[in-house]
Structure 1
């Protein structure tokens, strides 16, 4: 679990640095950083998305995952968790919007906190490095992948916090729960994780990260969390591929 703690600390420290940077900038400069962070996130997502090996798995996982996530309104549930966390953190009133009442300002602040928490949690938890790094840490006590991921996450946390706010720091909770669980369960789960599964998970995770990038740029407001079930469908498709092929004699 040492590597998981290091990853969480890296995100928190990066978020604090991002908060210091954001506090010294005008709204115009914050928009510049948000747009830049959006394009970098989009490029990162595209690099990951093209790691897929079976486009049918990717297509079905994203579409079916989006349908299931929308039906259960997963995005709203995670945002509600983010808003709950926001109430635990003192929020300063916005001075740039004097026409808004205190209640409306607080509501907007909580919403921004929740979106930062949601988007950062998805960004830092999806992808092969989180999965493979957790397995290596749990089985082989090899922390190199998670330590490398921690450095990358820390720098991304700086730009994310500058763009979206301190809610980014609380994604450390999601990292701790997700990567901690993978590390503890690594021995039991590892036999089912193949190179193909890692590639497909990286591909579907990359699509989700592209959605975050599009949100940051402002091209379209996508409820990214509603597509999280795509990860589950990806795992199911890969696990069922061999039995189905054997059954059909392919």
Structure 2
């Protein structure tokens, strides 16, 4: 139920944002996007703090930062080689064909890519979905659903229909993680989750800079780091041992 509720709040929030967006002056829209960018930086910073968690420190000692750094660097190489950012944009461009007359292509792509990353890259998306799949309750996803609903409203007021399309990505990604939790049980240790959270925090920092128009970092190409960070923790632990 957690993902279902999350998809519903994103959809409703996006539709409200689209309706209200037409009545908002451009200056207000830009300010809202800037606030979201700043808040994304805050969320990213809080996630990066997981680098100093007790579980991760016990597992890899002082190598926690190296684990996350290597995962991001190698992830960037893999993501660039696979052209993940470009493929996300190509997929969004194809989807835009279903929404005739809703705005420019770039605006739709930004709405889909940006909101999908904000909604799906973070500790609540991962931990909440796994917890829901394990039968431990969906409270984390319910909290995330409320946050995402308001964020979707703000995003859609400036970025339009692409934000609504991101509800499908939330359904697929979080639904898949819930299935992993259901069929595979506890997949990752606490240290691995902390490493993933820290890597996701760095990606969110890049996304915040992108929203603030400081630097257009291709954050989509960094997504493989989310898989590499947990995988590197046992390797680093071996060297520590």
Asked whether the two chains share a fold, i.e. TM above 0.5, the reply is: yes
Partner of 2:38: 39
Contact 1:37-1:163 at 8 Å conserved across structures: no
Instruction: Find 2:226's aligned residue among 204, 226, 231.
Output: 231
Instruction: Find 1:158's aligned residue among 143, 153, 167.
Output: 153
Q: Secondary structure at the match of 2:186?
A: helix
Does 2:75 correspond to 1:80?
no
Partner of 1:208: 203
Task: Select the structure of larger CA radius of gyration.
Answer: 1
Contact 2:132-2:138 at 8 Å conserved across structures: yes
Deviations 1:81-102 (A, max 9, x none): 1111111012246xxxxxxxxx
Deviation of 1:190 (Å): 3.3
Does 2:186 correspond to 1:191?
yes
Distance 1:220 1:196, change over 3 A: same
Equivalent-residue separation in structure 2 for 1:39 and 1:233 (angstroms): 27
Q: Which runs of 4+ in 1 moved over 4 A?
A: none
Equivalent-residue separation in structure 1 for 2:69 and 2:146 (angstroms): 31
Contact 1:136-1:142 at 8 Å conserved across structures: yes
Deviation of 1:141 (Å): 5.2
Deviations 1:171-224 (A, max 9, x none): 111111111111112144433312112211111111111111111111111111
Contact 2:47-2:201 at 8 Å conserved across structures: yes
Contact 2:181-2:187 at 8 Å conserved across structures: no
Equivalent-residue separation in structure 1 for 2:175 and 2:65 (angstroms): 30
Equivalent-residue separation in structure 2 for 1:152 and 1:143 (angstroms): 14
Deviations 1:154-182 (A, max 9, x none): 11111221232221111111111111111
Partner of 2:70: 60
State TM-score, norm by structure 1: 0.86
Deviations 1:47-95 (A, max 9, x none): 11222241111111111111211122110001111111111012246xx
Equivalent-residue separation in structure 2 for 1:36 and 1:3 (angstroms): 27
Equivalent-residue separation in structure 1 for 2:102 and 2:186 (angstroms): 49
Equivalent-residue separation in structure 1 for 2:207 and 2:180 (angstroms): 29
Does 2:235 correspond to 1:240?
yes
Aligned-residue Cα RMSD (Å) equals: 1.7
Contact 1:34-1:164 at 8 Å conserved across structures: no
Distance 1:92 1:82, change over 3 A: closer
Equivalent-residue separation in structure 2 for 1:4 and 1:44 (angstroms): 20
Deviation of 1:20 (Å): 2.1
Does 2:28 correspond to 1:29?
yes
Deviation of 1:125 (Å): 1.0
Unpaired stretches in structure 2, ≥5 consecutive residues: 53-63
Q: Secondary structure at the match of 2:125?
A: helix
Instruction: Find 1:221's aligned residue among 205, 216, 222.
Output: 216
